[in-house]
């Protein structure tokens, strides 16, 4: 049944009346996603190609029964938009916006993860910010992923990088390997959902047979996820890490070095994945080959 998103998900779009918001929301609707409303303060009562606009997310959710929100508002208003979505009762929040200050991200990530409650109980799931969104091919797409590169299938994919996700999905699809759900979790230092949060969902999903995990330099989320996978996951996972040739990362004073030590390089991550029994492709094409082998 895919994870997080399917054809029954009802989505409101914050910032639907903007240029990017309307372009992608309508594209998402064309794909079959239930885009049931938009939110722009002061434009309540209008509509965008038949999609009703509301002044607040709370009203939009009350009127449409939405259980997900997709956020396209500019960076300076994005934190408020995430808080608003978090308090509206939706279960899934997807924030596409890039360029949000890290202090804002730290605050709303914490609020969504620990404080806000969805109408269905538990805390909502925030995907992003600064992410491409997610797609369950053949069912629904929310965000900016180009759906034509996807195929309906049984491989889950989770990635910190947007365009690299497309690249890997593309390679998979070209080999006839379809996807259950592809999630771009975003590459910012503070994100709502990390690799380790999604692995249990893929493991439990009856429509997923294998998972691709696409990492980047920085942080140690790949390492943490690898450990979890090695201990708990029965389905094959194929890894990829970009950035072997990346410029040396910004060094956050001595404090950064004290905290992260030598962790965070592509080399260290790839080694950590392999040490936990996860095969790592050296480029997107090889990742797709490894997935094909794992499924064979």
Partner 1 sequence: MDLFEYQGKQLFAKAGIAVPEGRAATTPVEAELAAAELGGSVAVKAQVQVGGRGKAGGIQIAADPLEAKAHAEAILGMDIKGHTVRRVWIERATTNIAEEYYASFVLDRANGGYLGMCSAQGGVDIEAVAESDPTAISKVHIDPLLGIKPYHVRQMIYGAGLSDAAVKGASELLTKLFNAFVESDAELLEVNPLVLTEDGEVMALDAKVSLDENAIFRHPEYEELRDTFATDPQEMMAKEQRLNYIKLGGEVGVIGNGAGLVMSTLDVIAQAGGKAANFLDIGGGAQADVVAAGLDVIMSDENVRSVLINIFGGITRGDEVAKGITEAFSKIDVKVPVVVRLDGTNATEGRTVLAEFGDAGGRLISAETMLEAAAKAVELAKSS
Could you give the CA distance from residue 174 to residue 294 in angstroms, rounded to a whole number? 17
Range 19-48, binding partner 1 (CB under 8 A): 20, 24, 41-42, 44
Q: How far is the CB of 108 from its own copies (least distance, A)?
A: 14
The yes or no reply on residue 110 touching its own copies (CB under 8 A) is yes
Binding mask 126-165 for partner 1 (x = CB under 8 A): ------x-----------xxx--x---------xxxxxxx
Is 254 one of the annotated active-site residues of the chain?
A: yes
Task: Please name every residue paired with 152 in a beta bridge, in sequence order, or none if there are none.
Answer: 179
The yes or no reply on residue 254 touching partner 1 (CB under 8 A) is yes
CA atoms within 13 A on the CB side of 146: 11
Size of the site for partner 1 (CB under 8 A): 76
Phi, psi of 197 (to 5 degrees): -75, -30
> Cβ of 276: how many Cβ atoms within 10 Å?
19
Q: Which does 98 bind (CB under 5 to 8 A by kind): its own copies, partner 1, none?
A: partner 1
Q: Which of 1, 106, 115, 119 binds its own copies (CB under 8 A)?
A: 115
Q: How far is the CB of 206 from partner 1 (least distance, A)?
A: 29
Q: How far is CA 266 from the centre of its chain?
A: 21
The yes or no reply on residue 49 touching its own copies (CB under 8 A) is no
Q: How far is the CB of 224 from partner 1 (least distance, A)?
A: 8
In the complex with its own copies, which residue's Cβ is closer, 27 or 123?
A: 123
Taking phi over 0 as left and psi of -120 to 50 as alpha, with beta for the rest, 213 belongs to beta
Q: Quickly list H helices, the chain.
A: 19-31, 57-64, 75-86, 102-110, 162-174, 195-204, 221-232, 253-260, 266-275, 284-295
Instruction: Give me the catalytic one of 24, 103, 170, 254.
Output: 254
The yes or no reply on residue 274 touching partner 1 (CB under 8 A) is no
The yes or no reply on residue 119 touching its own copies (CB under 8 A) is no
Name 171's Cβ contacts closer than 8 Å, sequence gap at least 6.
284, 285, 287, 288
Residues designated as active site: 254
Residues contributing to the site for its own copies (CB under 8 A): 110, 114-115
């Amino acid at each position: 049944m895919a994870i997080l998103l399917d054809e029954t998900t009802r989505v409101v779009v914050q910032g639907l009346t903007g240029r990017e918001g309307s372009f992608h929301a309508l594209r998402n609707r064309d794909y079959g996603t239930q885009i049931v409303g938009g939110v722009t303060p002061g434009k309540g009562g209008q509509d965008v190609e038949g999609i009703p606009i509301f002044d607040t997310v709370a009203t939009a959710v009350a009127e449409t029964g939405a259980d997900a929100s997709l956020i396209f508002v500019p960076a300076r208003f994005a934190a408020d938009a995430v808080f608003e979505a978090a308090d509206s009762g939706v279960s899934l929040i997807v924030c596409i916006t890039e360029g949000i200050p890290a202090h804002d991200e730290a605050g709303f990530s914490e609020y969504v993860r620990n404080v806000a409650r969805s109408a269905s109980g538990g805390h909502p799931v925030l995907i992003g910010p600064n992410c491409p969104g997610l797609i369950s091919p053949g069912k629904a797409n929310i965000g900016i992923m180009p759906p034509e590169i996807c195929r309906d299938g049984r491989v889950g994919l989770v990635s910190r990088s947007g365009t690299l996700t497309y690249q890997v999905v593309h390679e998979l699809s070209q080999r006839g390997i379809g996807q259950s759900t592809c999630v771009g979790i975003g590459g910012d230092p503070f994100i709502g959902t990390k690799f380790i949060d999604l692995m249990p969902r893929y493991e439990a999903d009856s429509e997923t047979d294998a998972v691709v995990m696409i990492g980047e330099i920085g942080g140690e989320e790949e390492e943490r996820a690898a450990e979890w996978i090695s201990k708990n996951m029965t389905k094959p996972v194929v890894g990829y890490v970009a950035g072997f040739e990346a410029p040396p990362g910004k060094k956050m004073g001595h404090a950064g070095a004290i905290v992260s030590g030598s962790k965070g390089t592509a080399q260290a991550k790839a080694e950590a994945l392999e040490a936990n029994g996860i095969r790592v492709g050296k480029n997107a094409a090889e990742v797709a080959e490894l997935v094909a082998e794992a499924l064979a």
